[in-house]
Chains A and B, each alone.
Chain A
Amino acid sequence: MEWEVVIGLEVHVQLNTKTKIFSGSSTTFGAAPNTQASAVDLALPGTLPVLNEQALKKAILFGLAIDADICMASVFDRKNYFYPDLPKGYQTTQMDFPIVGPGIVTISLSDGSSRDIRVHHAHLEEDAGKSLHEDYHGMTGIDLNRAGTPLIEIVSEPDLRSAEEAVAYLRKIHSIVTYLDISDGDLSQGSLRCDANVSVRPKGQAEYGTRAEIKNINSFRFVERAIKVEVQRQIELIEDGGKVKQETRLYDSDKNETRAMRSKEEANDYRYFPCPDLLPVVIEQSLVDQLKTTMPELPDAKRQRFEQAYGLSSYDAALLTTERAIANYFEAAADAAGDAKLAANWVNGELSAALNRDNLGIANSPVSASQLGGLIQRIVDNSISGKIAKQVFEALWNGEGDSADAIIDSKGLKQVSDTGALGAMVDEVLAANPDQVEQFRGADEGKRKKMLGFFVGQIMKASKGQANPGVINKILNEKLGG
């Protein structure tokens, strides 16, 4: 039987406000446990929440970016459950009237096509603290630094049809929130966390299969692997005559498997009700209008502009625009180089490979955009060949000089175009290969072209790559052509 995969994602994004959503405590990651927890965060008796306006604005920006309706009177609710890292015994979140209504996220797929994924809504809520199970001699430590960090939870419709699409969607959410600068998007610090609702159904069937929710998958790679392994589990289960249970499952990345956490029957009754400590959040249209004017160019618009203004392929443009910082880097490099296509090739090629190899983000690239631009300039004006350029790039990367020019100078890598010097080199190569010269002279036009490459190669070797290939060709043709 052919199966269709149905996936909906719930993505939690930590907003990068300076202070928490309902208190004045700092949100900086990595501080000593419980040093960033105020009376409000500890839920001391008598304390009350006050909404952080910056968190509200960031949520509205997200809504505008996915073309959603903004709720002009959204309501905070209490979600009741007991857990040691949830100090109040309830989470303040939004249920019936979330700040962001239905919207659209467009994802690009590897075959060049794109799909619109519907977002059901996005709501504001507070993060919980952390339970620490190590180093406490069998007891559990509670760190409430994270408690009260503002989150938006973005809930998609079940529109995703493969693990690849789920990853593309998550990457798109990541690029939108980082473009908007509403989150640092740092997955390793939990700034973006994902729950996946996964089900399968026979292709062509209208109703959905029973879904399992996979909790807390916190990297792009694990999202793909967790969904794939869960899909496989469900298909095998059904094909063996079993039934998928509605339950919450945990992904174990070490064993690459999902495990049941709790079934629907064991699920909490969260007893949502409007939080009486917070009035409905009434927004003026003028605030929305004002925020609209602060919207940066978003990935889709930037990608279109890159295609049109720089003549880039849609693939290159998409690659360059996934991260705002990469797009900015590219634009600066292209500006300095005066050749956008070449700049795109270098950013997507050499630079990207080097960053991956050394596990660095673009912000920490040892080669700056202007340095790369300067390097590309020397390719464009024929001062160096593409091959030499790679050497120069490595040297820049390793900090062997401040600019491409300085490295070219100090290493003497400048391309040799002097006809006298190259003529002598050609003569040497021809003299050393009399048989090939004989063959060349006896060959027809078609074969001659191929054989010319042999001589060029020999000369490049002799010149350590610095000979200008155009000039060599010209001299060779003169000397062999006779």
Chain B
Amino acid sequence: MPNHTVADILRGLEAKTFSSEEITQQYLDAIVAHDPRYNSYITVTAAAALEQARAADLARQNGSGGLLCGVPIAHKDIFCTDGVRTSCASKMLNNFIAPYNATIVTKLAQAGTITLGKTNMDEFAMGSSNETSFYGAVRNPWNTDCVPGGSSGGSAAAIAAGLAPAATGTDTGGSIRQPAALCGLTGLKPTYGRVSRYGMIAFASSLDQAGPMAKTAEDNALLLQAMAGFDPLDSTSMQLPVPDFVGGLNKDLKGLKIGVPKEYFSEGLDPAIGAAVEAALDEYRKLGAEIKAISLPHTHLAVPCYYIIAPAEASANLSRFDGVRYGYRCENPKDLDDLYTRTRAEGFGAEVKRRILIGTYALSSGFYDAYYRKAQQIRRLIKQDFNEAFKEVDIIAGPTTPNPAFALGEKVSDPLTMYLEDIYTIAVNLAGLPAISLPVGLTQGKPIGLQLIGRDFDEASLLAAAHQYQQRSDWHRQVAPGSV
């Protein structure tokens, strides 16, 4: 059972090797037995999962099942799930039972997935280590002294530990790709606007995107197929046809031009990661791709730019958590100011408060031009860098992270170092582009991720490139020592 891919499960269900109920029960049992070590789930919805699984088995019998009929998955606890606690890993929403489903939750359910539960994450998706969760840190199944990355650290750890074959994640500055890299998984951040944000609790609205996390590119294609598409409830989702991602996986890579930005190989990069990326690029040469050196000159501005825009948007997005209508409310407020002040002081964790303060400051009268407006200008320059590069190449490749998984507690007290862990992923969100991280090696027993960045709405090329690499390598088949 362990280390099934989604595709494996679909084959097993089709061949009646097992039923959805059986495989779902196996995952639920594994979660009970092993998750105490990883803390990857916040909520497990066992009864509902088994009920869904039985319904899926019936549907499969009747031939009415969808693309993913009977496949158990987990949802990051940032997606609203009707009747189930949706906490965003915050004390603020510890008591919040969502009364509706996020669009992607509905779409995946319509495709036939079973929801095992809600995965742990950094509070309000703010973090790169999954240490800011109100429900405690998540441990990396490759090395339980290390972080799984964040913010979708629970989803990553659950898959790496064999506690879910796939999961949803969200990526505002690297929150799918970085934990995928640190846990030896494949994770895709789709183009901004490809997947609906409705029902996904907002961190930074102009950067947030939902995407799949799984072991293989093929599984990512299967999940994205179900998740993608225009949503009339999200004004920023794009009215574009959804390509056949699964059907496009074997599209020939001959003549594919891959650009390698020199800025991604500068100071701060672990040499072992550099070497693994070089080795992966060699495989791409063998697949017929052409590797070209390119430059993204504004790369060094991405992190500072991001840490203005994301907190600014977050400062407004998180204003609704005021103790008035739902969520945490402080005890015995003596007046309105006291209600606001104590509710928010007691309900939010330190990192969330830090970002709200940064964002509030950046938007303040007298500082707006120096910070927010300037950051928007830099954002356009970063996008321009990519536009220029994509005139020369089809895909941009580099490391996903500068370092492999770091030790729990190592960077908690040093936010700047922590923020630099996202140095290669952040620019992609600022530019709204799609990018995938896939495992291409191990160093000291810890996984290494390769990041491929594509043109707007060209997830298909990324999935094809990742899939065909995975046909020639077995890094994605490596099993974490702590896996079930």
Contacts and interface: CB of A to CB of B under 8 A. Distances in A.
Interface stretch (A42-50, A320-328, A399-407, A456-464): A42-50
A277 B316 CA distance: 12
Contacts, number: 101
Interface string A40-73: 0011111111110000000000000000000000
A158 interface: no
Contact of A278 (B235, B363, B368): B235
A82 interface: yes
Nearest to A88: B320
Nearest to A271: B363
Given A39-B100, A46-B199, A80 B324 contact: no
Nearest to A142: B324
A78 interface: yes
Nearest to B340: A82
A80 B98 contact: no
Interface residues of A, number: 28
Interface string A135-178: 00000001000000000000000000000000000000000000
A88 B319 contact: yes
Contacts of A82: 319, 322, 340
Contacts of B320: 43, 45, 87-89
Given A89-B319, A273-B316, A277-B236, A46 B99 contact: no
Contacts of A80: 315-316, 319, 363
A260 interface: no
Interface string A384-428: 000000000000000000000000000000000000000000000
Q: How large is the interface on B (under 10, 10 to 19, 20 to 34, 35 or more residues)?
A: 35 or more
A269 B99 contact: no
A101 interface: no
Residue among A43, A44, A80 with max Cβ neighbours from chain B (10 Å): A44
B325 A87 contact: yes
Interface stretch (B63-71, B200-208, B250-258, B259-267): B200-208
A48 B233 contact: yes
A84 B324 contact: yes
Interface in B227-253: 232-236
B119 interface: no
B316 A48 contact: no
B357 to A, nearest CB: 13
A278 B202 CA distance: 14
Interface in A19-45: 39, 42-45
Contacts of B235: 48-51, 277-279
29 contacts: A39-B99, A44-B80, A44-B98, A45-B88, A45-B320, A45-B321, A46-B86, A46-B98, A46-B198, A48-B233, A49-B235, A80-B315, A82-B322, A84-B324, A88-B316, A88-B319, A89-B318, A271-B360, A271-B364, A271-B368, A272-B363, A273-B313, A273-B316, A273-B363, A273-B372, A276-B205, A276-B236, A277-B205, A277-B236
Given A46-B79, A87-B325, A269-B365, 4 more contacts: A45-B98, A88-B320, A271-B315, A278-B236
Interface of B: 79-80, 86, 88, 93, 96, 98-100, 102, 197-202, 204-206, 232-236, 312-313, 315-316, 318-322, 324-326, 336, 340, 360, 363-365, 368, 372
